[in-house]
Chains A and B, each alone.
Chain A
Amino acid sequence: MSRRYDSRTTIFSPEGRLYQVEYAMEAIGNAGSAIGILATDGVVLVGEKKVTSKLLQTSKSTEKMYKIDDHLACAVAGIMSDANILINTARVQAQRYTFSYQEPMPVEQLVQSLCDTKQGYTQFGGLRPFGVSFLFAGWDKNFGFQLYMSDPSGNYGGWKAAAIGANNQAAQSMLKQDYKEDITREEAVALALKVLSKTMDSTSLTAEKLELAEIFLLPSGDVKYQVCLPEALSKLLVKSGVTQPTPESS
């Protein structure tokens, strides 16, 4: 291995690889996983929370899901502090677009813009890449509901179902088997929970270890980003057969 090419982000190794970018992806492979599924009537994002402690103020902080604009949200896997910087950048880019055009920024344009930022850190400046992968979920009037995945290299793709973080390859192959084209939002939630329960390391899935968010259209035509409350999430877990219902205490 050519270790002497590791420390500089901005040069290729003799084999034509960017080691810093690859190491960043390694860091993400140890982080809590996230799954996104594109349904006919919305997009579903599910994330595994690594920090679970009774002392954590869950109502005031989300670990995996963030709203970028009214019509756009993302799930995060990787180094949280890096993610915060990029999420802020994405929010500014979305508002800057709306300031110029008085319209919501099309989803792919935002993803592209953020990925251009990430790419800069692999080519110049001498700074390390961001150790974050994103799943972007949103709606715009050109292409409806969309799901995008992006990684530290600045590459991105549009997906019907995607997984990032720990065990993402196992999750991705499970999604490939069970995803069907005309899946509804409800079915997508059940599928995401099922896949996550199979690929997560922990033995039992409870609502405290998960975050679930959905993007869909209200009857008024506005886009809604909704994070599932813990009680509702527990019920969903029981309904999809992932956890057993708590036994009645006599």
Chain B
Amino acid sequence: MECVFGLVGDGFALIAADTSAVHSILVHKSNEDKIMILDSHKLLGASGEGGDRVQFTEYIQKNVHLYQFRNGIPLTTAAAANFTRGELAIALRKNPYFVNILLAGYDKDIGPSLYHIDYIATLHKIEKGAFGYGSYFSLSMMDRHYHSRMSLEEAIDLADKCIMEIRSRLVVAPPNFVIKIVDKDGAREYAWRESIKDAGVATA
């Protein structure tokens, strides 16, 4: 029941993800951060099988960092997305990773961009996208309210609408979400939307 969705606005890109770590009927924790900061100007929101998600996204992150150390320049968002897709494609017919990914980035020359990469290595460059059961609701909300070059306030409002919809309509809806954005000033956490707070648990 993991939900990840994202969209591209005016000079920024946004990714929101639920923060429950679930195993069968048990919620391990409800403040698990599933949106990785890939490098200074890239976000990687991932959903899927627990071990695979962390293993694969960390592998991508370290390779992106290695490229920068070796070559002195960062990867473009498109290059990082294609590299990620390539790794999923290679593993697909050996030992596939069950991870769905939304990759958002900001490049100085082309602005913000968002890439939708599913677990069988399909890559699409998109303006708005979503994964998981929550996508039934968030995609519909975004189809209704999204327009290109939304301001940050409009985009956050739309994200909140999607979260509200997921919470009210999905049978085992995740209670908490995190929203991160990336723009010319970099990738950073924007806000949490918590309806249940873990008592006295240190954040990861």
Residues of A within 8 A of B (CB): 99-103, 106, 108-109, 141-142
Are B78's CB and A100's CB within 8 A?
no
B73 engages A101 (CB within 8 Å): no
The chain B residues found within 8 Å of chain A, CB to CB, are: 71, 73, 75-76, 78-79, 82-83, 86, 109
Count of A-B residue pairs with CB < 8 Å: 22
B73: contacting residue among A99, A100, A142, CB under 8 A: A142
Task: Give the CA-CA distance A100 to B81 in the complex, in Å.
Answer: 10
A99 vs B76: C-alpha distance when bound (angstroms): 15
Contact between chains at B71 and A101 (CB < 8 Å): no
A102 contacts B79, C-beta separation under 8 Å: yes
How far is A98 from B169 in the complex, measured between Cα atoms in Å? Answer: 44
CB contact between B86 and one of A100, A103, A108, A142 (< 8 Å): that residue: A100
Give the shortest distance, in Å, between B171 (CB) and chain A (any CB). Answer: 40
Residue of B nearest to A102 (CB): B82
- Chain B residues lying within 8 Å of A99, measured Cβ to Cβ, are 86
Give the distance to chain A from B66, nearest Cβ to Cβ, in Å: 13
Residues of B with C-beta under 8 A to A108: 71
Instruction: Tell whether, in the assembled complex, residue B79 and residue A106 are in contact, meaning their CB atoms are under 8 Å apart.
Output: no
A106, B79: Cα distance in complex, Å = 12
Across the interface, do B73 and A106 meet the contact criterion of CB distance under 8 Å?
Answer: yes
Q: What chain A residues lie within 8 Å of B73 (beta carbons)?
A: 106, 142
A101 to B86, CA, bound (A): 8
Q: Are A106's CB and B71's CB within 8 A?
A: yes
* CB pair A102 B78 closer than 8 Å: yes
Shortest CB-to-CB span from B73 to chain A, Å, is: 5
CB atoms of B71 and A103 under 8 A apart = no
User: Are A109 and B78 in contact (CB-based, < 8 A)?
Assistant: no
Interface CB pairs A-B, < 8 A, 9: A100-B82, A101-B79, A102-B78, A102-B82, A103-B76, A103-B78, A103-B82, A106-B73, A142-B73
- Bound CA–CA A100/B60 (angstroms): 13
The answer on a CB contact under 8 Å between A100 and B71 is: no
A142 CA / B79 CA spacing, docked (Å)? 14
Separation in Å of the A47 CB from the closest CB of chain B?
30
**Nearest CB in chain A: distance from B57 CB, A:** 18
Chain B residues near A100: list those with CB within 8 A.
82-83, 86
Known: A100-B82, A103-B79, A108-B71. 16 other contacts (CB 8 A): A99-B86, A100-B83, A100-B86, A101-B75, A101-B78, A101-B79, A101-B82, A102-B78, A102-B79, A102-B82, A103-B78, A103-B82, A106-B71, A106-B73, A109-B71, A142-B73
Question: Chain A: which residue is nearest B109 at the CB level?
Answer: A141
B83 CB contact (under 8 Å) in A101, A109, A141:
A101
* A100, A101, A108 interface centre (most CB from chain B within 10 Å): A101
Query: Which residue of chain A has the shortest Cβ distance to B85 in the bound complex?
Result: A102
Q: Which chain B positions have C-beta within 8 A of A141?
A: 109
C-alpha gap A108/B78 in the complex (Å): 20
Residues of A within 8 A of B79 (CB): 101-103
6 shortest interchain CB distances as A-B pairs: A101-B79, A102-B82, A103-B79, A100-B86, A100-B83, A101-B82
Contacting residues, chain A, for B71 (C-beta < 8 A): 106, 108-109
| Complex alpha-carbon distance, A106 and B70, angstroms | 12
In the assembled complex, the Cα of A35 lies from the Cα of B3 at a distance in Å of 59
Cα–Cα, bound, A103→B83 (Å) = 10
User: In the bound complex, how far is the Cα of B85 from the Cα of A102, in angstroms?
Assistant: 11
A108 to B71, CA, bound (A): 9
B109 to chain A, nearest CB (A): 8
The distance from the CB of A232 to the nearest CB of chain B, in whole angstroms, is 35
CA distance A102 to B73 in the complex (A): 16
Once bound together, how far apart are the Cα atoms of A141 and B71, in whole Å? 14
